[in-house]
Each structure stands twice: as structure tokens, then as C-alpha cells.
Chain A
Amino acid sequence: MASIEELSDDALLVMYANGDRDAARVLTLRLTPRVFNHALRLLGDRAEAEDVAQEAMLRLWRIAPDWQQDQAKVTTWLYRVVANLCTDRLRKARPVALDAVEEPVDEASGPVEKMQDRIRAQALQRALSDLPERQRQVVVLRNIEGLSNPEIAEIMEISVEAVESLNARGRRRLAASLSDKREELGYVDAH
């Protein structure tokens, strides 16, 4: 018999709606890091990302009794909620200073490669913050979260062609933005 940790998000959500507390715990531990990190990448602000993550999960709890297992994946639905919440905040918020972009916590110090990866990730995060909001969402979902173009199209409620276009433009802009930092990112031989 499968343990509760092995159950799908859909199944756990149904169990949650029926009052199962373990299902709530497993879903929280499984989905919160993903939701939080996605919000953090879109917003570049830890406190805002925490608020968005809490609100997105609250909306998930609310919809649980009415969840239809054949409508969408839970994660797809969550990405869409996070995207909408982040969009609302970005439109209301003041521009974030580049220095204020949150630096991820690094628990493992040591190898030079890891330090290099940290520097690259931070530089990328800063460059992402300069992208227009829709491009940023697509670029993050496609290139960091690893979702397919059709999935992103469903999340953002746009066509697959629009996803491809936004991704291509976003990547070009990121490349232009980061190109003068290649050396500090460890790409001295990249040309």
C-alpha cells in the first residue's frame, strides 16, 4: 500500500477536503517550497514572496472541496495563482532596487563551482527583475521551473506561439543584459 507521501497532489487535495490533516501536511511541505521560490523569482523580494505563497496556498485550501481532478494539475493551477498574485503586486509596487534583490541562502560553502553557481544565479535573478513582467514569467517557468510550452500557455492563458515568442525575447534580453558580466560569471572563453 502506497504511503501518503507517494499520493498525487489531486488525491491529497481530495483527502484534505475530507478533513485529513496528514494530507494538509504533505501538500504543504511538497508545494510550499515550489510556490515560494517561484514567487521569489518573480518578485525578487522575500517578504512579498512569503505573502504570495501563503495567499496562494490559502486559495488552494479554499478550492479543495470543489476541486475537479480532471480540470488541471494542482501545480499548474498554483503557478497561475502565483503569477496573478505577483502581477498584482508588481503593478502596485515601487520598482525594486537591484541591491534589494534577495540573495538566496547558501547552506553549503566550499567548492569554487558552488560559489560560481551562486554568483550566476544571483546575476540572473537581478537581470530577471529587469524583464517585463510577462517575459519574466515565461522565462522563469520555461527555463528554471522546466515546464513545457503548452503547460505555460495554460497557466498564462495565452497561445503556445505567444509563449515561444515571449521566451525568445526574454532570453535575448537576458543575454544582452548579462553579456557584459560574462567574465565575472566565469565565461572568459565564451566568445
Chain B
Amino acid sequence: MSTHTEDTKDIWLDECFAAARQDTTAAPDDLITKILADAGTMQQEFATQSLVATPVRAGLFARVSQALGGWPSITGLATASLAGVWIGMSAPAGLEGVTQALVGAEAVIDVVDQYYQAEFELAGDL
């Protein structure tokens, strides 16, 4: 530990500081005991907090469900899907008329783009 005579020329003052450095008071035992008790109490609090705060990692289904908006959205989605399947399986008679009115009775619906269809035909010729 250095002395600091650069601040003043009072070497005797530095000797007083040196004496003060040596003249330490032992920390009382009961203070040590209290501080250790505080340390233990805080460690228990940390343990409790970590138990409460540790998030349980959600599974894939739970995360998808959460992304879609929870159970109400899932229920609505499932109902709509089932209705679509049912309509596809047993199209009501009235619906056929609506389809004809919209796209025409003889309409051909291209499920593949004309350009790609030509490419397929060319490839088939090779």
C-alpha cells in the first residue's frame, strides 16, 4: 500500500494514515452471524423465486394452439374444416345450381396453368 506524499509534504500525516490502516477493528461476531443469516434467507428466496418463475416449456401442439389464438380459435377452425369436408362429400342439390350459375354448365376449370401444361406435353413428346 502506497503513501501519498505527492499531495502534500506532510510526511507525518502519511504516518498517521499508515497507523490508521493498521488500526482496524475486528468485525463483531454477532454482525458476522447476522450477515450470514441474511445470506441464507436471500438464498432461500432465490430458490423459491426460481421454482415459481421457471417456465414449463410448452409442447408443439400447445405452442401452435397459442399461436392460433387458443382453444376458441381451434374449435372454430375444426368446425369450419368439418363443414368443408361434409359439403365436399355430399354437395347439396341447391349448391350445384349456384356453381353452374357462377362458372357456367360447360366450363372447364384448368387446374394447371396453360403454359405449364404445354411444357408437360413437350416433355412427354421427348
Contact of A57 among B3, B4, B35 (CB under 8 A): B35
Contact A123-B23, Cβ < 8 Å, known A16-B39, A54-B34, A54-B35: no
* Interface check A73, CB cutoff 8 A: no
* Interface check B32, CB cutoff 8 A: yes
* Interface check B27, CB cutoff 8 A: yes
Question: Which of A74-82, A129-137, A165-173 lies at the binding interface?
Answer: A165-173
The reply to whether B15 and A40 form a contact with Cβ atoms under 8 Å apart is no
Contact A142-B13, Cβ < 8 Å, known A32-B32, A58-B38, A125-B20: no
List, in ascending order, chain B residues with CB within 8 A of A25's CB: 36
A167 vs B14: C-alpha distance when bound (angstroms) = 13
Interface size class of A (residues with CB under 8 A): 35 or more
The reply to whether A28 and B35 form a contact with Cβ atoms under 8 Å apart is yes
B36 to chain A, nearest CB (A): 5
A50 vs B42: C-alpha distance when bound (angstroms) = 19
List, in ascending order, chain A residues with CB within 8 A of B28's CB: 50
The reply to whether B39 and A105 form a contact with Cβ atoms under 8 Å apart is no
List, in ascending order, chain A residues with CB within 8 A of B31's CB: 32, 36, 50, 53-54
The reply to whether A37 and B39 form a contact with Cβ atoms under 8 Å apart is no
List, in ascending order, chain B residues with CB within 8 A of A102's CB: 25
Question: Which of A86-94, A114-122, A153-161 lies at the binding interface?
Answer: A114-122
Contact of A17 among B15, B38, B46 (CB under 8 A): B46
A105 vs B26: C-alpha distance when bound (angstroms) = 8
* Interface check B21, CB cutoff 8 A: yes
* Interface check B2, CB cutoff 8 A: yes
A70 to chain B, nearest CB (A): 22
The reply to whether B13 and A175 form a contact with Cβ atoms under 8 Å apart is yes
A107 vs B23: C-alpha distance when bound (angstroms) = 10
B16 to chain A, nearest CB (A): 4
List, in ascending order, chain A residues with CB within 8 A of B8's CB: 168, 171-172, 175
Contact A117-B40, Cβ < 8 Å, known A32-B35, A53-B31: no
List, in ascending order, chain B residues with CB within 8 A of A104's CB: 23-25
* Interface check B110, CB cutoff 8 A: no
B3, B8, B14, B25 interface centre (most CB from chain A within 10 Å) = B25
The reply to whether A144 and B17 form a contact with Cβ atoms under 8 Å apart is yes
The reply to whether B26 and A174 form a contact with Cβ atoms under 8 Å apart is no
List, in ascending order, chain A residues with CB within 8 A of B47's CB: 19
List, in ascending order, chain B residues with CB within 8 A of A116's CB: 19
List, in ascending order, chain A residues with CB within 8 A of B25's CB: 36-37, 40, 46, 102, 104-105
Having A16-B39, A19-B47, one finds 4 other A-B pairs with CB under 8 Å, namely: A33-B26, A104-B24, A142-B4, A143-B3
A residues whose Cβ falls under 8 Å from a Cβ of B: 16-17, 19, 21, 24-25, 27-29, 32-33, 36-37, 40-41, 46, 50, 53-54, 57-58, 61-62, 64-65, 102, 104-107, 116-118, 120-125, 142-144, 146, 167-168, 171-172, 174-175, 178, 182, 185, 187, 190
Closest 3 pairs (CB-CB, A-B): A121-B23, A117-B19, A24-B39
